[in-house]
Amino acid sequence: MKLALLAGNRLSPWHFHAFRMLRGNPAITAFCTHTETRGDSLPGSRDMPTFPAEFIHFDTQAGPIARRVRNILLSRYAGREPHILPFHERLQDFDIIQSWELFTDWSAEAVAARARWGIPIAVMVWDNIPFNMERNPVRREIKRQVAAHADRFIVYTERSFRMLDLEHVPTERIVKIDPGVDTDKFAPGPANRAAFGLGPDDFVILFVGWFLPRKGIDFLLLALRELVRDPALRRHRVRLMMVGPDQDRDRIEHLAQRLGVREACLFAGALPYERMPEAFRAADLFVLPSIATPEWQEQIGMTLIEAMAAGTPVVSTCTGAVAEIAEDAAVLCQPNDFVALYEVITELIRNARRRRELAQHGREHALARFSLPRCADALSDIYEDMLRRK
C-alpha cells in the first residue's frame, strides 16, 4: 500500500509515531510545509517520523512573483490567509490519502485527487467545535466538499464524533479510535533533575506547550504567585518548569516579572522529543491549564497522555476533551480560574500519598487505552477496509 500522509504542520513525533507501525509496512510519503512545521517538532530529533517528505509551498512563498507579493501584502495588512499551492497532481500514484480536518487546504487537495483518480480519502479530525471555521466562506465550502466526498473520518474523541454528526457527516463513515504514545519510552524511571537545573528538594510543576493564552499558562502563573506566597507551603520550594518554543515567551516572562515569580520559573526551551520522558520524570506534577476560545478547545491533550504514561500526576481543566481523555486518572478543575488551580495544586503538594495514587492510576490508564500498537492496529483496520471497498 502507498499512503499519502498530508501532514501540513502536524508532522510531529507525538501525532505520527503510530504510522511507523502500520501492518504490512506500507510506503508512506509525508506532504508537509517548511514554515508551518512546529518549532518544537525539531526535525533533527531522532524521534521524528522517518517517512520521505515532500514540501508544499504557500502562495506567499512561491508562484508568479507579482501574485506572491500581492498575497504577502494582503496577508500582512488585510488579514488574508495564505493558501498552499495546488499539489493534487502529485497524489496520482497513491492507494490511500490521509489528510487532516475538514476545513484545511490539504483536505481540499485530497478531494481534488479523489475526484480525478478515485483515490479513497481518510480525514483525521481533532476539532471538536460544531460549525467551526465557517465564517470564512472559502473554509466553509472546503468543509462542505470534504464532508460530502471523504470516505472515512477518523476521530480520537466522542466530542469530535458528535461534532461531525451535528454537521451531518454520515456516522457510518466516522471511526473512533484511541491515540497512542510510546509507553515504553514514556514510563516511570529515575529523575535526572540536575539536567534541568532543578534541586532534589524542589517541588516541580511542569507545563508543556505553546505559550499561547488558550493553553492557560497565564492562569498557571497567577496560581504560582499564590503558591509561593502561601505561608503553609513555605517549606516547599515550588518551581514551575516550562517546556515549549520561544514564541510568545517574552509575554510570559513579563507576566512572571510583574507577579514577582520570575525566580520560581524555569524556561527549558523546546526540548527534543527524545528528552521529553526525562522532563516528565523530573516533575512532581504536570499541569495543563487549557481554556476554551470561540474557535478552539483542547482537542486531545497528548501531553496529558505522555505525563500519565510517565507516571507523573496530572492536573488539568474541564475543557474540551480533557475529561474524556483523562477519565478519573487526573484531577480536573474549572478553567479560567487561577484560584481553583491554586487550591488543587496545594492539596496535592500536601498529599504525597494522593500523588502516588494518581501516578499509578495514570500509568495504568495509559497502558490500557493509549499504547502505540493498539493505535496502529486500529489505523491498519481502517485502511484495509478502505482498500477492500475501493
Tens digit of each residue's pLDDT (9 = 90 or more) over 100-139: 999 999 999 999 999 999 999 999 999 999 999 998 899 9
Is the domain of 135 the same as that of 211? no
Q: Which pLDDT value is given to residue 21? A: 92
Say which CATH number the domain at 295 has.
3.40.50.2000
pLDDT-derived band at 79, boundaries 50, 70, 90 = confident
Structural domain contains residue 244? yes
pLDDT-derived band at 38, boundaries 50, 70, 90 = very low
CA separation for the pair 381, 379 (Å, rounded): 5
3-state percent breakdown (helix, strand, coil) of the chain, nearest 5: 45, 20, 35
Q: What is the mean pLDDT of the segment spanning 24-47?
A: 62
Structural domain contains residue 201? yes
Is the domain of 210 the same as that of 339? yes
What is the average pLDDT value for the chain, to the nearest integer?
A: 91
Q: Which pLDDT value is given to residue 68? A: 87
Bridge partners of residue 202, in order along the sequence:
237
Residue 275 has pLDDT above 80, yes or no: yes
Q: What is the mean pLDDT of the segment spanning 239-264?
A: 94
Q: Which amino acid is at 362?
A: G
- Do residues 82 and 58 touch, judged by C-beta distance below 8 A? yes
Q: Which pLDDT value is given to residue 194? A: 93
Which stretch of 13-22, 169-178, 180-189, 347-356 has the lowest confidence by average pLDDT? 13-22
DSSP letters spanning 278-317? HHHHT-SEEEE----BTTB-----HHHHHHHHTT--EEEE
Q: Which pLDDT value is given to residue 13? A: 67
Structural domain contains residue 299? yes
Is the domain of 228 the same as that of 305? yes
Structural domain contains residue 24? yes
Calculate what percentage of the chain has a pLDDT beyond 90. 76
Is the domain of 151 the same as that of 294? no
Q: Which pLDDT value is given to residue 41? A: 35
SS3 state at 181: strand
Is the domain of 377 the same as that of 365? no
Higher-confidence position of 184 and 34: 184
Structural domain contains residue 186? no
Is the domain of 229 the same as that of 264? yes
Q: Which run of H or E residues covers position 240?
A: strand 237-243
Which stretch of 38-52, 73-87, 191-205, 297-311 has the lowest confidence by average pLDDT? 38-52
pLDDT-derived band at 46, boundaries 50, 70, 90 = low
Is the domain of 230 the same as that of 170? no
Is the domain of 347 the same as that of 208? yes
Is the domain of 281 the same as that of 338? yes
Q: How many domains is the chain built from?
A: 2
Q: Which pLDDT value is given to residue 234? A: 85
Q: What is the mean pLDDT of the segment spanning 146-155?
A: 97
Residue 251 has pLDDT above 50, yes or no: yes
Structural domain contains residue 121? yes
Burial class, 172, CB count within 10 angstroms (exposed 0-12 / middle 13-18 / buried 19+): exposed
Structural domain contains residue 187? no
> How many C-beta atoms lie closer than 10 Å to residue 272's C-beta?
16
Closest CA to 209 of 143, 291, 135, 281: 291
List, in sequence order, every beta strand (DSSP E) within 116-189: 121-125, 152-155, 174-176
Is the domain of 169 the same as that of 232? no
Which stretch of 73-87, 207-221, 278-292, 326-340 has the lowest confidence by average pLDDT? 73-87
CA separation for the pair 289, 205 (Å, rounded): 12
Is the domain of 207 the same as that of 62? no
Q: Which pLDDT value is given to residue 360? A: 97
Q: Which pLDDT value is given to residue 358? A: 97
Structural domain contains residue 361? yes
Q: What is the mean pLDDT of the segment spanning 264-274?
A: 92
Closest CA to 8 of 37, 47, 28, 29: 37
Q: What is the mean pLDDT of the segment spanning 238-256?
A: 93
Is the domain of 110 the same as that of 43? yes
Domain that holds residue 256: 193-369
CA separation for the pair 353, 345 (Å, rounded): 14
Q: What is the mean pLDDT of the segment spanning 166-183?
A: 96
Residue 43 has pLDDT above 80, yes or no: no
